[in-house]
C-alpha cells in the first residue's frame, strides 16, 4: 500500500516527503484540506518545515489527497497513538527494538512477546510498524524492566531477526 501511495506522487519528491511525514506521524487531512491530529489543526508551515518543503507543497499535497477517493479514505481515517518510547528514559523503562529480515512473516510479534512473557517480563506497550507504510518496519516493545542478556541472545538467534537494539 505504501508503494502505491508513493507512486501517486512519483513526479514530486517534495509531495512524497509530505506524504511520508503524514503517514509516519499518523496525521489526518480533514474535509477542508487541513492537516490534523485528532481535532487539533497543524499549521501547514509546521508540516512544511518538518518535511523540508515549501508550504505550498503541503497545500498541493492535501488537495491531491482530497481529490483521490482512495487517498481521501486513508488520510481521513489514519490516527496516531501515544508512545512510551520517548518517555522510557524518564520513566525508567526499557525499549527493545527488533528489526527483521521479512516483516510480512507471520508470528513475529507473538514469538517475541511470548519469549518475554516466558521470562516473566511485563510489557507496557508494543508498537509494530506496518510494512505497508514504512520502508524498514520495526517492532518496539517497552518493558518495565531491563531485558537480561541471555534473553537478548535468544531473541537475536531467532531466524527472522536481523538486528536487536535495547535502550
126-167 confidence digits (pLDDT tens): 999 888 777 788 999 999 999 999 999 999 999 999 999 999
- Residue identified by cell 509494530 is 128
Q: What is the CATH number of the domain that holds 138?
A: 3.30.70.260
Residues 74 and 91 in one domain: no
Chain segment 30-44, per-residue pLDDT in tens: 999 999 999 899 999
Instruction: Give the end of a domain, one of 14, 44, 79.
Output: 79
Please tell me whether residues 118 and 152 are part of one structural domain.
yes
Residue-number span of the structural domain to which 37 is assigned: 1-79
Q: Within a 10 A sphere around the Cβ of 164, how many other Cβ atoms?
A: 19
- The predicted-structure confidence for 94-118, as pLDDT tens digits, reads as follows 999 999 988 888 999 999 999 999 9
Q: Return the SS3 of 162.
A: strand
Same domain membership, residue 75 and residue 13:
yes
Q: How many domains does the chain have?
A: 2
pTM of the model: 0.76
List, in sequence order, every beta strand (DSSP E) within 23-121: 28-29, 35-37, 40-42, 94-100
Amino acid at each position: 500500500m505504501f508503494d502505491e501511495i508513493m507512486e501517486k506522487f512519483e513526479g514530486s519528491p517534495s509531495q512524497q516527503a509530505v506524504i511520508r511525514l503524514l503517514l509516519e506521524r499518523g496525521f489526518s487531512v480533514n474535509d477542508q484540506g487541513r492537516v490534523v491530529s485528532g481535532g487539533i489543526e497543524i499549521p501547514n508551515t509546521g508540516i512544511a518545515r518538518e518535511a523540508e518543503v515549501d508550504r505550498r507543497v503541503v497545500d498541493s499535497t492535501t488537495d491531491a489527497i482530497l481529490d483521490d477517493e482512495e487517498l481521501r479514505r486513508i488520510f481521513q481515517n489514519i490516527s496516531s497513538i501515544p508512545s512510551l518510547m520517548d518517555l522510557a528514559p524518564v520513566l525508567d523503562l526499557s525499549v527493545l527494538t527488533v528489526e527483521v529480515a521479512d516483516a510480512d512473516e507471520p508470528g513475529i510479534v507473538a514469538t517475541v512477546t511470548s519469549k518475554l512473557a516466558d521470562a516473566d517480563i511485563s510489557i507496557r506497550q508494543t508498537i509494530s510498524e506496518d510494512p505497508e507504510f514504512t520502508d524498514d518496519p520495526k517492532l518496539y516493545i517497552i518493558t518495565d524492566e531491563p531485558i537480561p542478556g541471555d534473553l537478548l541472545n535468544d531473541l537475536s538467534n531467532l531466524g527472522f531477526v536481523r538486528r536487536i537494539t535495547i535502550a
